[in-house]
Each structure stands twice: as structure tokens, then as C-alpha cells.
């Protein structure tokens, strides 16, 4: 039988959609190096604590202000400062620590006056990237992961900068806050020589067409001063000291009021907590007197061999992540349970005192990397499906 011209053609073969590879970001790699179980909770299971640690809230707020400040390089000085401080204000109804709020405002105010005259032109702020994760030994791209991240800013120095950055060259900017000593020659700056994040961002910048000559590493040190106690005084300005019975104490000769404590005698100097505005004034004065203690910038470069070493670090970390995925095992690191005198956000889960299913304490993230704009599959989506009782595969030749 002759085929009719009206015959419906056979459908074309289905084309499988291109699989998007999970990302390895600096945050994910850092979490894995710190504790494999922490990485599993955050980036495989996508669990986040409902409550945010004060240190993280402080860093997030400062970063938001720095983003605005950097973007306003062509604005007037007053406008730039006003809009930066406005970006630090919490949303209506949000509970904040008043001292922490004052601290971040004064640090950003001081930052403005410290760097407002630097001859720098902003090229971009908050640029996201995805790039091949390349094996430095072979030049081959990973078939398992891609490199991802978000750069704080890119700038051009219009004149040579005090930190050594040359004029006319594209520069990455990385903003940081820290409690460490940031003086020249300190351990903080020495450690940057082996910081894989900087190496990763050089690769990421190049993938977006921004071929950076170096990184302007921009650091703000958190204050070491804390809210103080303010002695209570009478109408004559004399400090008030009470005994255990609550009676005011005189000096031994009885001629005037005592103004100092004596624990052995039970004498207590009466005091109140310093108000946020009193602390603000004291912090502002300390920043004005010691600007170099609070603000430092460094010019960080990567020689070819240094960049290669940094990318080897990232490549090997990614291999270890893949091994953990294939084995389905993420060992705990008890040495990382308490850092900076604070327990890990998942400490109670690991010790059996809490459950990840507790909605009062934990939530499920929509994406593995919430700091990035587009959703991407979590690492768990890439683990080979196999029965629970299946033997662990041979990890020697990784499908990487």
C-alpha cells in the first residue's frame, strides 16, 4: 500500500535533558573540611538552624552594608554614608541585640571615613559564577561537580593604593569581618597565602570575563571593648557604695562617703549597665583613635604555582566529598564540636539530645547553596541509587 502524504510522522527520539552538576562552593568545602557530618546536614540533607547565631547575623548585616557602600562609589559622601547605614536597619518587628546593632553601625561609619577617599571605581558587586572544576594535573573538567560561588565585588584602582594594588588593573574585592589581629604581618594575613577561597575566586572571575590582577582583601576587625558598668552617683556626683544590709558606707574616718568596693567587707559599688548610646560614643572614640586596629586592606595575588596548589586543594576536597557520597558515610569530628566557645549548631543532634525533625529548631533549605541565586541539586541527588544492604563500592577508580 502506498503511504499517504497525510501520514503522521513518527515522533523524534526523546532527548534526555542535560544533567546539571552539583556545585562545590567555598562554604561547602570549608564545612566538609571542618566536619563531614556538618557537611552532610547542611549540603546533603539541606538542614539549617531556625535561629541564626549572633556572629552570623553580625557578619550578614555588615556584608549588606558593605555591598551598598561599594555600589555607591559615584554618590556624594553624605548620601553614601546615609544609604549604607539605612541598609543596616533591621526589618520592622525584628528583634535585635541593641549593642550588636550599634557596633555594626559604628564600624561601617568608621569604614566610610577610613576609605571614602580611596581612588577606586566599582565595576560590579555581588557577581555569581559557575565554572569547570578542573583537575590541575590533567586539565580535565570534573564530570561530578562544578565550581560555584559569589564574588563580593570587582573594582579598578584609579591610582596606586596604599596596600600595593596597582592602578588601572581589575581587582577582586573580598570583604571580611574578624575578631583576630589584622595588623600587618599578623597570622591573619599569612594564612591568606594558602586560602583556597581566593584561588577559587580568581578562577571564577576569569570565567565571567573579569581577569583580575589581584584581590583587594578588605578586613574589618570587631571591637574588643565591651559594654561597661557605669557607677551610680548621688546628686553631688559621688559614687554610691552599700554594705550587705543595703546601707551606704562611709570611709573609716567617717568624714565622707566611700567610693570603692571591698568584697571582704561586703561593700559593693552600685552600678548600672552602659546604655547602647553610651557604648556607641565610646566605640566611636576608640575607632577614631585607632583606625588601623579596625580597618586593614591587603593586596593578595596568586602566582601560577600558588593558584595550582589552591586548585589542587579544592579538587582533592571534592574527591573526598565524592567518596563520602559513594560510601554513604559522613564521619563526625569531635574536635570541631566547640569553636570560639560556642557549640556547633548540630551538636545536640550528634549527641542524641535533639532531632533534625524538630521544626522549632531546624528548617529545610530550598537549595543546597542558599547564598546563590539559582537553585541547584543537592549533593544527595548525585549519590548512586543502590539497596541499603549493598556493599560499599570500590573507591579506587572514582567516576570523577
Per-residue pLDDT of the chain (400 residues; tens, 9 = 90+): 444 444 444 445 544 445 689 999 999 999 999 999 999 999 999 999 998 777 778 889 999 999 999 999 999 999 999 999 999 998 888 888 999 999 999 999 999 999 999 999 999 999 999 999 999 999 999 999 999 999 999 999 999 999 999 999 999 999 999 999 999 999 999 999 999 999 999 999 999 999 999 999 999 999 999 999 999 999 999 999 999 999 999 999 999 999 999 999 999 999 999 999 999 999 999 999 999 999 999 999 999 999 999 999 999 999 999 999 999 999 999 999 999 889 999 999 999 999 999 999 999 999 999 988 754 444 443 433 333 333 333 333 344 4
Beta-bridge partners for 49 = 362
Q: Which residues of 253-266 are buried (b: 16+ CB within 10 A; e: fewer)?
A: eeeeebeebeeeee
How many Å apart are CA 29 and CA 316, to the nearest integer?
Answer: 10
| 254's grid cell | 567617717
- Quick one: pLDDT at residue 11? 47
- Quick one: pLDDT at residue 348? 97
* DSSP structure class, residue 380: G
| Burial of 74 from C-beta contacts in 10 A (0-12 / 13-18 / 19+) | exposed
Map out the domains of the chain with their CATH numbers.
Answer: 23-224+292-382 (3.90.320.10), 229-273 (no CATH)
Using alpha carbons only, give the angle 5, 10, 13 rounded to the nearest 5 degrees.
150
Q: Which residues contact 134 (CB under 8 A, 6 or more apart)?
A: 140, 141, 142, 203, 311, 315
How many Å apart are CA 250 and CA 276, to the nearest integer?
Answer: 32
Amino acid at each position: 500500500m502506498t503511504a499517504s502524504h497525510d501520514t503522521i510522522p513518527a515522533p523524534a527520539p526523546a532527548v534526555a535533558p542535560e544533567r546539571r552538576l552539583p556545585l562545590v562552593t567555598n562554604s561547602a568545602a570549608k564545612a566538609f573540611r571542618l566536619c563531614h557530618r556538618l557537611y552532610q546536614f547542611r549540603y546533603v540533607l539541606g538542614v539549617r538552624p531556625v535561629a541564626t547565631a549572633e556572629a552570623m547575623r553580625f557578619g550578614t548585616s555588615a556584608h549588606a552594608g558593605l555591598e551598598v557602600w561599594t555600589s555607591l562609589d559615584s554618590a556624594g559622601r553624605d548620601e553614601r554614608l546615609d544609604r549604607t547605614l539605612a541598609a543596616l536597619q533591621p526589618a520592622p518587628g525584628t528583634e535585635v541585640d541593641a549593642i550588636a546593632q550599634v557596633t555594626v553601625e559604628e564600624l561601617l561609619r568608621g569604614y566610610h571615613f577610613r576609605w571614602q577617599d580611596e581612588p577606586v571605581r566599582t565595576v560590579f558587586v555581588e557577581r555569581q559564577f559557575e565554572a569547570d572544576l578542573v583537575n590541575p594535573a590533567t586539565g580535565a573538567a570534573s564530570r561530578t561537580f562544578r565550581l560555584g560561588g559569589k564574588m563580593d565585588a570587582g573594582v579598578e584602582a584609579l591610582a596606586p593604593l596604599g596596600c600595593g594594588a596597582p592602578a588601572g588593573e581589575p581587582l577582586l574585592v573580598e570583604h571580611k569581618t574578624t575578631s583576630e589581629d589584622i595588623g600587618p604581618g599578623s597570622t591573619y594575613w599569612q594564612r591568606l597565602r594558602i586560602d583556597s577561597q581566593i584561588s577559587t575566586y580568581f578562577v571564577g572571575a576569569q570565567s565571567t570575563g573579569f581577569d583580575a590582577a589581584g584581590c583587594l582583601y578588605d578586613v574589618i576587625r570587631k571591637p574588643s571593648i565591651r559594654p561597661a558598668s557605669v557607677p551610680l552617683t548621688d546628686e553631688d556626683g559621688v559614687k554610691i557604695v552599700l554594705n550587705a544590709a543595703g546601707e551606704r558606707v562611709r570611709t573609716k574616718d567617717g568624714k565622707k562617703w566611700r567610693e570603692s568596693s571591698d568584697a571582704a567587707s561586703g561593700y559593693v559599688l552600685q552600678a548600672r549597665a552602659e546604655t547602647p548610646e553610651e557604648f556607641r560614643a565610646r566605640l566611636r572614640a576608640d575607632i577614631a583613635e585607632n583606625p588601623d586596629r579596625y580597618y586593614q586592606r591587603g593586596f593578595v595575588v596568586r602566582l601560577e604555582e600558588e593558584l595550582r596548589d589552591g586548585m589542587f586543594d579544592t579538587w582533592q576536597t571534592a574527591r573526598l566529598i565524592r567518596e563520602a557520597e559513594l560510601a554513604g558515610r559522613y564521619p563526625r569530628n569531635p574536635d570541631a564540636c566547640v569553636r570560639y566557645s560556642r557549640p556547633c549548631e548540630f551538636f545536640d543532634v550528634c549527641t542524641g539530645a535533639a532531632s533534625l525533625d524538630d521544626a522549632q529548631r531546624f528548617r529545610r533549605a530550598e537549595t543546597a547553596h542558599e547564598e546563590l541565586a539559582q537553585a541547584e541539586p543537592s549533593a544527595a541527588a548525585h549519590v548512586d541509587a543502590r539497596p541499603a544492604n549493598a556493599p560499599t563500592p570500590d573507591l579506587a577508580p572514582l567516576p570523577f
